[in-house]
Each structure stands twice: as C-alpha cells, then as structure tokens.
C-alpha cells in the first residue's frame, strides 16, 4: 500500500474528500431528478422514494431507489437492471432509466437483465414496490449456513 501512496495513488472513494464529492453529486442529482419528474411522480418520490413510469405498450414500471434490479414491472413482478458502466449518483441512474423508458423503451429492454421478484397475484399491485424494498432490507430467513450443508449422506466415509 505504501508503494501506491508514494506514487500518488489512492483507492477510489476512500478519502473524506471523495465521500464529500459523492454526497454533493447525489444532492445535485436528486435536485435534477425532482425537476424532471411529473407532479404525480414527484409526489410518489417524496412520499415513498420511488415513482411510476408509464411505458407505451408495456404498462407501468416503478423505479426503485436501488442500484441494481430497480425497475419493477407492476403487472408481472419482474425486476429489470440496466445501469451505465460508469459509477453515477443513484438519482442520476433513476433519471436515466425514467428517460429511457419514456422515450426509447426498446433500447432499455434490449440491454436490461430481468429476474422474477414477485409472483403476480400473491401481492396487490399497489403494494409491490414496498414489498420488494422491504424484502431487500430484511436479513435472510434461513438459519442454515452453506458451510454446514453437505451433499454426502451421513455415515458414508470417503473411499
């Protein structure tokens, strides 16, 4: 580590100046996001931290405050993930996804990864964003550690 310090290198994001710069960037990004949201989207964002986007011929999607798999399809419960290669403030990511979904959804879905997050019918459509966010904050329910799981039947020694 001292060799890197001597050459003037430091790990990205580990200095107080880096943290302050990231915080300032997020504040600016959030201000821009609020200005770009419709009144209804802004109200949802202020109340819940997420907002809905209407996508032509695809339905309603919620953009959640998460860096990955944060675009939730209201009807199917699928989450989509499409993020830029560069690290950007979360509010900038949410704004970029909003603009893509509203103006060029084909480009968004062409690159987005998808995973099933909720089973349709088990959770009321209006509660889905809250359910996803709550599930992601909660610790795993299983008390089993993977290190304790064995594929070998008990009592059979290795040859």
Q: Is residue 16 part of a domain?
A: no
| Average pLDDT of the chain to the nearest whole number | 81
Q: Is residue 149 part of a domain?
A: no
Round to the nearest angstrom and report the end-to-end CA distance of the chain: 46
The number of domains in the chain is 1
Task: Report the pLDDT value the prediction gives residue 105, as an integer from 0 to 100.
Answer: 97
Query: What is the domain range of residue 56?
Result: 38-136
Q: Is residue 88 part of a domain?
A: yes
pTM score of the predicted model: 0.74
Q: Is residue 67 part of a domain?
A: yes
Q: Is the pLDDT of residue 156 over 80?
A: no
Predicted confidence band at 131 (pLDDT cuts at 50, 70, 90)?
A: confident
Q: Is residue 13 part of a domain?
A: no
Task: Report the pLDDT value the prediction gives residue 13, as an integer from 0 to 100.
Answer: 55
Q: Is residue 57 part of a domain?
A: yes
Q: Is residue 93 part of a domain?
A: yes
pLDDT tens digits, 84-124: 888 899 999 999 999 999 999 999 999 999 998 877 777 67
Task: Report the pLDDT value the prediction gives residue 158, as an integer from 0 to 100.
Answer: 45
Task: Report the pLDDT value the prediction gives residue 138, as an integer from 0 to 100.
Answer: 73
DSSP 115-154: EE-S-BTTB-GGGHHHHHHHHHHSPP-----GGG--SSPT
What are the start-end ranges of the H helices in 13-150?
A: 16-36, 39-48, 90-103, 105-111, 128-137
Q: Is the pLDDT of residue 2 over 70?
A: no
Q: Is the pLDDT of residue 14 over 50?
A: yes
CA distances from 108 to 88, 94, 100, 105, 145 (A): 17, 13, 6, 5, 37
Length of the chain: 159
């Amino acid at each position: 580590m001292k060799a890197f310090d001597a050459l003037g290198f430091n790990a990205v994001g580990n200095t107080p100046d880096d943290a302050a710069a990231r915080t300032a960037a997020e504040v600016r990004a959030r201000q821009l996001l609020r200005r770009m949201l419709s009144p209804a989207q802004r109200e949802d964002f202020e109340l819940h931290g997420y907002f809905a986007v209407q996508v032509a011929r695809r339905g309603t999607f919620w953009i959640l405050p998460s860096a990955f798999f944060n675009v939730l399809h209201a009807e199917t419960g699928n989450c989509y993930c499409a993020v830029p290669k560069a690290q950007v403030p979360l509010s900038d990511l949410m704004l970029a996804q909003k603009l893509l979904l509203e103006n060029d959804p084909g480009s968004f879905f062409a690159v987005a990864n998808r995973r099933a997050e909720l089973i349709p019918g088990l959770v009321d459509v209006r509660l889905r964003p809250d359910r996803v966010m709550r599930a992601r904050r909660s610790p795993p329910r299983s008390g089993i550690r993977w290190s304790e799981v064995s594929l070998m039947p008990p009592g059979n020694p290795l040859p």
